[in-house]
Chain A
């Protein structure tokens, strides 16, 4: 059957079987290979995409069910070819990955968190990625990456959430009032990486 999907801000149309998962459709029909199959029973989180900003297992959802929603895949996070977003760059800075297989899902889960708060606690981060299994890293450098990205975003001159999605009070001034160019002060090396 024919299905219309809005993926990374672009309307796309394809023919597929109604039983096809969103995961398979993204990979096979739209050639978006950044979304990975890990367990295909909804546990490992490698297939995580964002549906209207919320992390969702694309292996547990039929492609036809995604009609009418904003779908974001890892391909939608890089601002331009060859250019990384702040969170992606933070994963590179702390080496928050090894084999890279869980990484797209992990970054999307973390991205969703940072859309709701730029002041996450370690426990918030642990909770946000707890549905994404990484077999390589033991999570330490992933948590550091998210902390580092949050710190950089707090001082970046970019749009930020107006409220804390975790229902906590936001600091009155997350960024210095005089303003700073993106990451001018935030781009400090991670102390522990020495």
Chain B
């Protein structure tokens, strides 16, 4: 750590989020607000079949409609573009924006129609005749594993995309030595982040400048590179405009298939083209679903509740193409033991294709389902040993003095103080009073219970899981960058090189730079140049921006501060260490000579003859920051993943009316330690929003397919997002354990609520119904399932568990 928290002027203080002003006035600039002269509009015809051979496509009636410009098929697009990038080494699992030869899930995009207006394009899709020959299909991941299941990609030979077993430590020995063992299965339902803004992209092609201009609702590392690759054009012919505001993403807005489709059309037609997904296209065929995962867990422990070893088998239903699904099995390896001192782990990661929509990266990148499995294991150990759930956690937590702590899978946790966070939360709650309240609710005829869950949030995202799961991938950097320019009048402009989807990056960098240069952050302009003017950056994934963009801004500002100091010291004829930088000016404490900000700016911009020898004129600095850890390739199935590890501890008091089956959260408290907070409002919002997102995953949200392979939750009438009615008031208990790896001690905070809430809420439901001898082992736990299970239990029927 290079900054002293006691001296912060702006960091950690109650300052407004500068982005908010334009949004409350309705003056955001979203992709649907981009109006290009002569722009055409795309609508999509999707497949009705989960798997079918495309026999023929007849677009003549559609093309005959006035105002319809073009009908694009998968064959044409596949001939003109390369398949979309596939992170795994599975070359026969090819993915194109439009289905080629056969469809692989109901809702997959088959034909794109281009017309003068979106409405007209939609009308025309109804006139396109596609003849299909239905093929056998598979929806269920376990069935997809069977040798006789219909392969989603026949050329690949099976549905297995990934099947890797890692053994870290002496698992079998520890299991053999442990007096107690238990095994269970939990299932994480297919949900996603489902932003309120769907994905959208507009593109235009200028053949005289060889330039593809792209405006998109995007949160995607290496986005321009992937567009260029697929379109077979040089990457410096792709200009992505990063000043587009993104209406929510939380990981999922990767839009590469949409972009390749639209970019091809823009080139083909010589007109700007845009596709703004409607909700149905987004839910059914936007390729934006999240993990769907079965966990088979075995735990070896002793009578004191100490967990020695764990075996996890995670079977993930990837959907029809590889997407990011397999890697979302990889990232949890960086925190595979959660906050616990589990000595050895066996982890089998299996990813299979099925005839469902494709997964994208979802908040936490697979960590939330894994936390649900780990926390369920701890609860079961408590039940088996008769110990309190919190006591088992306390006994297994890594202790404050044991950091940095190397976990069996090769990651070193940077810092933490889990016991103190838990103590603070319990003191805040008055846990005994909460138990009395639970008992009072029970006495009043309600089913009541308390759920607790701890979770780790690895943050500062690198991409170490890629080389871990694919030996051909040798990526060891996941940099982010910042450039600062002080102009000739002394005003500061900062460039950042990503889009934002609500994370407040402009506030982040202005706060950090204001802190270092000791100038008012509100006077700092922050801009996002187009991708051709950008420095290398990797977008806000993996809870990384406070660490990586904040770090890059810090170091760039330090370089500028050093330059300002050197210029001034040179005027005084002194060494740099003899002068003092304060509030933008530099003084000589001995002689009381002082150069103000504008004096130094003048010299930097206008007086080369006054600069120290060898110094470049102007006042500009850049910093390209390497992730503080993860700069080595994996060895023996072990790798250092993310540098920083935030900690959260959730406590939920719940009551269920046994007649309705409706869970009501009476109290929700979260202990939260993400190190040094840069902006308290942003961290609070991320935490609360994450809890709401996790509540959805626990109780409401699921992309459900019926036995015919059709998505039956494809609108907001069926796929239920938490409203203000479902969301309780959440109390946050703060703690700060700074990270030794970052400039202010900050860690990530974008995922915390979502990582712990599903486990905590599930535990609360199960505590509510435990007295009836029932439990739920699959998320989401819907009202209907709770009501039915309670009714069955009251009538003495055995519980029907989800498949």
- Of the candidates A40, A122, A134, A143, the one whose C-beta lies within 8 Å of that of B278 is A40
Given A95-B684, A101-B197, CB of A138 within 8 Å of CB of B692: yes
A97 with B21: CB separation less than 8 A: no
Collect the chain A residues with CB atoms within 8 Å of residue B249's CB.
99
A118 within 8 A of B: no
Alpha-carbon distance between A131 and B20 when the two chains are bound, in angstroms: 22
B284 within 8 A of A: no
Given A100-B502, A101-B247, A135-B250, CB of A141 within 8 Å of CB of B681: yes
B715 with A43: CB separation less than 8 A: yes
- Of the candidates A93, A99, A127, the one whose C-beta lies within 8 Å of that of B195 is A99
B444 within 8 A of A: no
Alpha-carbon distance between A162 and B685 when the two chains are bound, in angstroms: 35
Residue of A nearest to B715 (CB): A41
B682 within 8 A of A: yes
Alpha-carbon distance between A34 and B502 when the two chains are bound, in angstroms: 16
The B646-660 residues at the A interface (CB cut-off 8 A) are none
Collect the chain B residues with CB atoms within 8 Å of residue A141's CB.
681, 684-685, 688
Given A92-B21, A138-B689, A138-B692, CB of A101 within 8 Å of CB of B716: no
A102 within 8 A of B: yes
Collect the chain A residues with CB atoms within 8 Å of residue B14's CB.
189, 193-194
The B7-63 residues at the A interface (CB cut-off 8 A) are 14, 16-17, 19-28, 30, 32-33
Count residues on chain B whose CB falls below 8 Å from chain A CBs. 59
- Binding stretch for chain B, among A71-79, A151-159, A171-179: A71-79
State how many angstroms separate the Cβ of B396 from the closest Cβ of chain A: 29
A104 with B26: CB separation less than 8 A: yes
- Of the candidates A41, A126, A135, the one whose C-beta lies within 8 Å of that of B724 is A126
Alpha-carbon distance between A172 and B743 when the two chains are bound, in angstroms: 54
- Of the candidates B248, B680, B725, the one whose C-beta lies within 8 Å of that of A101 is B248
Collect the chain B residues with CB atoms within 8 Å of residue A95's CB.
16-17, 20, 681-682, 684-685
Collect the chain A residues with CB atoms within 8 Å of residue B454's CB.
none
B501 within 8 A of A: yes
Alpha-carbon distance between A76 and B230 when the two chains are bound, in angstroms: 44
A38 within 8 A of B: yes
Residue of B nearest to A37 (CB): B32
Collect the chain B residues with CB atoms within 8 Å of residue A94's CB.
681
The digit string for B229-250, where 1 denotes a CB below 8 A from any CB of A, is: 0000000000000000111111
A129 within 8 A of B: yes
Residue of A nearest to B282 (CB): A39
State how many angstroms separate the Cβ of B534 from the closest Cβ of chain A: 21
- Of the candidates B195, B250, B680, B730, the one whose C-beta lies within 8 Å of that of A194 is B680
A133 with B721: CB separation less than 8 A: yes
Collect the chain B residues with CB atoms within 8 Å of residue A137's CB.
685, 688-689, 692
Alpha-carbon distance between A95 and B721 when the two chains are bound, in angstroms: 21
Collect the chain B residues with CB atoms within 8 Å of residue A135's CB.
193-196, 248, 250, 689, 692-693, 721
B503 with A98: CB separation less than 8 A: yes
B716 with A133: CB separation less than 8 A: yes
Given A100-B19, A101-B30, A130-B723, CB of A140 within 8 Å of CB of B688: yes
A102 with B17: CB separation less than 8 A: no
B26 with A97: CB separation less than 8 A: no
Report which residue of B276, B721, B723, B729 has the largest number of chain A beta carbons within 10 angstroms of its beta carbon: B723
B753 within 8 A of A: yes
Collect the chain A residues with CB atoms within 8 Å of residue B692's CB.
135, 137-139
- Of the candidates B26, B682, B688, B717, the one whose C-beta lies within 8 Å of that of A138 is B688
Residue of B nearest to A193 (CB): B14
Residue of A nearest to B34 (CB): A33
Given A95-B684, A101-B196, CB of A44 within 8 Å of CB of B716: yes
Collect the chain A residues with CB atoms within 8 Å of residue B716's CB.
39, 41, 43-44, 133
Given A136-B248, A138-B688, A139-B724, CB of A74 within 8 Å of CB of B196: no
- Of the candidates B245, B721, B724, the one whose C-beta lies within 8 Å of that of A100 is B245
Given A140-B730, A141-B684, CB of A38 within 8 Å of CB of B24: no
State how many angstroms separate the Cβ of A79 from the closest Cβ of chain B: 11
A84 within 8 A of B: yes
Collect the chain B residues with CB atoms within 8 Å of residue A37's CB.
32, 276
B724 with A143: CB separation less than 8 A: yes
Collect the chain B residues with CB atoms within 8 Å of residue A27's CB.
32
B727 within 8 A of A: yes
B279 with A100: CB separation less than 8 A: no
Collect the chain B residues with CB atoms within 8 Å of residue A138's CB.
685, 688-693, 722, 727, 730, 753
B26 with A75: CB separation less than 8 A: yes
Collect the chain A residues with CB atoms within 8 Å of residue B684's CB.
95, 140-141, 193
State how many angstroms separate the Cβ of A66 from the closest Cβ of chain B: 18
- Of the candidates B25, B501, B689, B729, the one whose C-beta lies within 8 Å of that of A78 is B25
- Of the candidates A40, A41, A84, A132, the one whose C-beta lies within 8 Å of that of B24 is A84
State how many angstroms separate the Cβ of B703 from the closest Cβ of chain A: 15
B504 within 8 A of A: yes
Alpha-carbon distance between A99 and B30 when the two chains are bound, in angstroms: 10
The digit string for A5-38, where 1 denotes a CB below 8 A from any CB of B, is: 0000000000001011000000100001111111
A117 within 8 A of B: no
Collect the chain A residues with CB atoms within 8 Å of residue B25's CB.
34, 74-75, 77-78, 84, 88
- Of the candidates B22, B27, B197, B503, the one whose C-beta lies within 8 Å of that of A38 is B197
Collect the chain B residues with CB atoms within 8 Å of residue A140's CB.
684-685, 688, 727, 729-730
Collect the chain A residues with CB atoms within 8 Å of residue B722's CB.
138
State how many angstroms separate the Cβ of A132 from the closest Cβ of chain B: 8
Collect the chain B residues with CB atoms within 8 Å of residue A43's CB.
715-717
Collect the chain B residues with CB atoms within 8 Å of residue A189's CB.
14
Collect the chain B residues with CB atoms within 8 Å of residue A92's CB.
16-17, 20-21, 24
Collect the chain B residues with CB atoms within 8 Å of residue A63's CB.
none
Collect the chain A residues with CB atoms within 8 Å of residue B119's CB.
17, 19-20
Residue of A nearest to B195 (CB): A135
Alpha-carbon distance between A33 and B21 when the two chains are bound, in angstroms: 16
State how many angstroms separate the Cβ of B373 from the closest Cβ of chain A: 24
Alpha-carbon distance between A127 and B33 when the two chains are bound, in angstroms: 30
- Of the candidates A39, A75, A130, the one whose C-beta lies within 8 Å of that of B715 is A39
Collect the chain B residues with CB atoms within 8 Å of residue A78's CB.
25
Alpha-carbon distance between A135 and B100 when the two chains are bound, in angstroms: 35
Collect the chain B residues with CB atoms within 8 Å of residue A40's CB.
278-279
Report which residue of A93, A99, A125 has the largest number of chain B beta carbons within 10 angstroms of its beta carbon: A99
Collect the chain B residues with CB atoms within 8 Å of residue A107's CB.
24
A91 within 8 A of B: yes
State how many angstroms separate the Cβ of B119 from the closest Cβ of chain A: 7
A44 with B724: CB separation less than 8 A: no
B502 with A99: CB separation less than 8 A: yes
Alpha-carbon distance between A118 and B22 when the two chains are bound, in angstroms: 25
A74 with B26: CB separation less than 8 A: yes
A129 with B685: CB separation less than 8 A: no
State how many angstroms separate the Cβ of B302 from the closest Cβ of chain A: 39
Report which residue of B20, B250, B691, B729 has the largest number of chain A beta carbons within 10 angstroms of its beta carbon: B20
Alpha-carbon distance between A176 and B109 when the two chains are bound, in angstroms: 63
A46 within 8 A of B: yes
Collect the chain A residues with CB atoms within 8 Å of residue B279's CB.
38-41
Residue of A nearest to B120 (CB): A17
Collect the chain A residues with CB atoms within 8 Å of residue B715's CB.
39, 41, 43
A119 within 8 A of B: no
Alpha-carbon distance between A137 and B686 when the two chains are bound, in angstroms: 7
A58 within 8 A of B: no
Alpha-carbon distance between A62 and B183 when the two chains are bound, in angstroms: 57
Alpha-carbon distance between A140 and B692 when the two chains are bound, in angstroms: 10
Alpha-carbon distance between A62 and B715 when the two chains are bound, in angstroms: 21
Can you list 20 A-B contacts (CB < 8 A)?
A: A20-B119, A27-B32, A33-B32, A41-B715, A43-B716, A44-B721, A84-B21, A97-B502, A98-B686, A98-B689, A104-B26, A107-B24, A127-B724, A133-B196, A134-B196, A135-B692, A136-B689, A137-B685, A138-B685, A141-B684
Q: A100-B502, A138-B692 are in contact. List 13 more A-B contacts (CB 8 A).
A: A17-B119, A35-B26, A99-B196, A99-B248, A100-B24, A101-B248, A103-B24, A107-B24, A134-B196, A134-B689, A135-B248, A135-B689, A141-B681
